[in-house]
C-alpha cells in the first residue's frame, strides 16, 4: 500500500475518513500478527507506512473538527480555551487595551482642573515638570519673557 496523499483526504467527508481509519487499523493489526508469526519482510516494512497513514487520517479529522468549531464560534462573545490564541502566559494575563486606558474619577478631575500648560509652543505639566523649571526660566530669560515665567508660577 502506497502512502496516502493528504490533499485527497481533505476532499473526503467525516464518514469516509472514519471508514478509512477503521480499514487502516485492521490492516495494522494483521501486519502485527504477521510480524509475530515471522511474516515476509515486505509486510514488516509496510507497518511504518500504515502507521503514518493512520496518523495522517487522524490529523485531518482533528483539523476538520477544529475548523468547524472555529466557524461555529466565529461571532460569539467567548471562545473555548483551545481556540484562543496561545501567545505567552504573561501576555494572556495582561490587561486589555481598554482596561489599561481607563482612568479613575480622581485622575479625570485632576486632568480637567490642571491641564497641560503651553510655553514656547511646548507642552509642560506644571506638577511633573518642576524639574524642567530652571531650563524654562533660562529660555524665557533669553527671550525676555518675564510674563511667561510669571504665568508658569501662576502670578498672572
Higher pLDDT, 108 or 129: 108
According to the model, what pLDDT value does residue 147 have?
A: 63
pLDDT digits (tens, 9 = 90+) for 81-113: 999 999 999 999 999 999 999 999 999 999 999
pTM: 0.61
Bridge-partner residues for 124, per DSSP?
A: 117
pLDDT reading at 128 higher than 90: no
All structural domains of the chain with their residue ranges: 6-81, 112-153
Angle, CA of 21, 24 and 30, to the nearest 5°: 145
Residues recorded for the chain: 156
DSSP the chain: -PPPPHHHHHHS-HHHHHHHHHHHHHHHHHHHHHHHTT--HHHHHHHHHHHHHHHHHHHHHHHHHHHHHHHHTTT-S---GGGS----HHHHHSPPHHHHH---HHHHHHHHHSPPEEETTEEE-TTTGGGGHHHHHHHHHHHT-HHHHHHHHT--
pLDDT digits (tens, 9 = 90+) for 17-65: 999 999 999 999 999 999 988 878 888 889 999 999 999 999 999 999 9
pLDDT digits (tens, 9 = 90+) for 58-86: 999 999 999 999 999 999 999 999 999 99
C-alpha–C-alpha distance, residues 58 and 121, integer Å? 66
pLDDT digits (tens, 9 = 90+) for 117-126: 776 666 666 5
According to the model, what pLDDT value does residue 3 have?
A: 82
According to the model, what pLDDT value does residue 156 have?
A: 47
How confident is residue 10, by pLDDT bands cut at 50, 70 and 90?
A: very high
Higher pLDDT, 127 or 138: 138
**Grid cell listed for 32:** 502485527
Select from 43, 6, 39 the least CA-distant residue to 27: 43
Report the topology of domain 6-81.
Answer: Helix Hairpins (1.10.287)
Amino acid at each position: 500500500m502506497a502512502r496516502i496523499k493528504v490533499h485527497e483526504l481533505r476532499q473526503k467527508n467525516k464518514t469516509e475518513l472514519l471508514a478509512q481509519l477503521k480499514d487502516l487499523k485492521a490492516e495494522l493489526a494483521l501486519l502485527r500478527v504477521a510480524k509475530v508469526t515471522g511474516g515476509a519482510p515486505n509486510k514488516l516494512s509496510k507497518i511504518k507506512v500504515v502507521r503514518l497513514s493512520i496518523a495522517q487520517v487522524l490529523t485531518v479529522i482533528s483539523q476538520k473538527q477544529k475548523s468547524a468549531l472555529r466557524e461555529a464560534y466565529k461571532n460569539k462573545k467567548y471562545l473555548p480555551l483551545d481556540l484562543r490564541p496561545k501567545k505567552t502566559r504573561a501576555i494572556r494575563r495582561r490587561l486589555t487595551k481598554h482596561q489599561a486606558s481607563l482612568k479613575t474619577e480622581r485622575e479625570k478631575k485632576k486632568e480637567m482642573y490642571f491641564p497641560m500648560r503651553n510655553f514656547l509652543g511646548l507642552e509642560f505639566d506644571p506638577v511633573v515638570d518642576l524639574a524642567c523649571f530652571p531650563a524654562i526660566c533660562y529660555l524665557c530669560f533669553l527671550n525676555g519673557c518675564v510674563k511667561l515665567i510669571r504665568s508658569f508660577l501662576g502670578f498672572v
